[in-house]
């Protein structure tokens, strides 16, 4: 049954992606002006020949359904259009940028979940203790701070006051030819500030949420049962309670993934992180729509994938959802 659930989930995900492609198509057609000009984008340098080529490529002289069909079959073949500025296919452009974004987003996700839950669990043991107070203040503040501003403040702090972490880019130029281990640590070193900047909002939210959920769970009957059989406090907290308390965090973390990508967009811009967000920003400034819409497509695909993974891990973590076999 898990297999069929998985297949259904994937099929639905593909359907959503089809929706994204159609949306992209509509966006270009709905934008004011000649779609060929919109596609060519990039102010200046559009000549009649180029526009004619675009019209032919996208079938812009044909009826709308045909145009949609052409667009769809192009996307299915991995053709998301050309970036005239970079003079590269959009798909190639994005595939070089997607890795750093995934690295940043996943690191931030893991950091925020692990640290947030840890703080929340500790705070839940003393609902009126100082850590509990700190967690709720921190969560309120974390929610209100603009993520790009946190990044900028950290850049100022770490560039001039404590220059221990790099504040720009993903790799050092001088280590371009170093061995893989040195490169790994170099990237990790560059990752620290962007990942923390991005993680901090969610970290605060997860700390507050896991504190509440943990307090809920700690009052439940099965925790009393665990204590009644003589389980140690660590076992009660981290084995019996945490696994149950983590379920709502998992749900929220799944739902937040899209917002995390939105945040990554800003963080990449602040730290010059060579990811899709940076690419989207550069392309938008140049009115390069095929690239921007390509980023939208890939970002949506990441969210869909994250949702499928969340669903699967939820079923793994909560046996009640697995159903009887």
The least distance separating another protein from the CB of residue 284, rounded to whole angstroms, comes to: 5
The least distance separating another protein from the CB of residue 278, rounded to whole angstroms, comes to: 11
Q: Is 45 left (phi over 0), alpha (psi -120 to 50) or beta?
A: left
> Which of 42, 178 has the CB closer to another protein?
42
The least distance separating another protein from the CB of residue 184, rounded to whole angstroms, comes to: 28
> Which of 162, 180 has the CB closer to another protein?
162
> Which of 5, 183 has the CB closer to another protein?
5
Integer Cα distance of 70 and 80 in angstroms? 11
**Packing angle between helix 130-144 and helix 90-125, nearest 10 degrees?**
150
The least distance separating another protein from the CB of residue 100, rounded to whole angstroms, comes to: 16
User: What are the C-alpha distances in Å from 154 to residues 38, 194, 200, 269?
Assistant: 38, 9, 12, 14
> Which of 184, 316 has the CB closer to another protein?
316
The least distance separating another protein from the CB of residue 17, rounded to whole angstroms, comes to: 8
The least distance separating another protein from the CB of residue 58, rounded to whole angstroms, comes to: 16
> Which of 75, 265 has the CB closer to another protein?
265
- Could you tell me where the DSSP H helices lie in the chain? 2-30, 35-40, 48-58, 64-76, 90-125, 130-144, 147-156, 180-218, 221-228, 233-234, 242-271, 276-285, 289-317
> Which of 86, 281 has the CB closer to another protein?
281
- Residue 178 CB neighbour total at 10 angstroms: 14
Burial class (CB in 10 A: 0-12, 13-18, 19+), 236: middle
Integer Cα distance of 299 and 258 in angstroms? 8
Integer Cα distance of 26 and 11 in angstroms? 23
Any idea of the CA torsion for 74, 80, 81, 82, to the nearest 10 degrees?
A: -140
> Which of 95, 183 has the CB closer to another protein?
95
The least distance separating another protein from the CB of residue 170, rounded to whole angstroms, comes to: 19
């Amino acid at each position: 049954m898990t297999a069929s659930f998985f297949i259904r989930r994937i099929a639905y995900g593909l359907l959503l992606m089809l929706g994204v492609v159609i949306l992209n198509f509509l966006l270009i057609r709905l934008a004011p002006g000649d779609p060929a000009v919109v596609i060519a984008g990039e102010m200046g340098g559009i000549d009649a020949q180029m526009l004619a080529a675009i019209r032919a490529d996208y079938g812009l002289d044909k009826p709308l359904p045909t145009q949609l069909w052409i667009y769809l079959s192009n996307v299915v073949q991995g053709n998301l259009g050309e970036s005239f500025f970079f003079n590269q296919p959009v798909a190639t452009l994005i595939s070089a940028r997607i890795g750093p974004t995934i690295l940043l987003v996943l690191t931030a996700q893991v950091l925020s979940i692990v640290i947030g839950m840890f703080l929340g669990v500790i705070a839940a043991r003393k609902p009126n203790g100082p850590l509990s107070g700190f967690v709720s203040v921190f969560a309120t503040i974390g929610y209100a701070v603009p993520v790009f501003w946190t990044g900028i403040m950290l850049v100022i702090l770490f560039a001039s006051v404590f220059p221990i972490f790099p504040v720009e880019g993903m790799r050092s130029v001088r280590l371009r030819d170093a061995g893989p281990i040195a490169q790994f640590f170099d990237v990790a070193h560059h990752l620290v500030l962007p990942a923390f900047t991005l993680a901090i909002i969610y970290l605060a939210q997860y700390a507050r949420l896991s504190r509440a959920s943990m307090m809920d769970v700690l009052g439940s009957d099965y925790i009393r049962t665990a204590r009644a059989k003589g389980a140690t406090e660590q076992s009660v907290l981290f084995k019996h309670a945490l696994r149950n308390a983590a379920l709502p965090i998992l749900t929220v973390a799944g739902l937040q993934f899209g917002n995390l990508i939105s945040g990554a967009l800003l963080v990449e811009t602040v730290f010059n992180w060579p990811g899709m967000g940076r690419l989207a920003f550069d392309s938008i400034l140049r009115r390069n729509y095929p690239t921007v819409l390509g980023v939208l497509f890939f970002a949506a695909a990441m969210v869909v994938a994250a949702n499928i993974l969340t669903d699967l891990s939820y079923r793994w973590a909560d046996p009640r959802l697995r159903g009887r076999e």
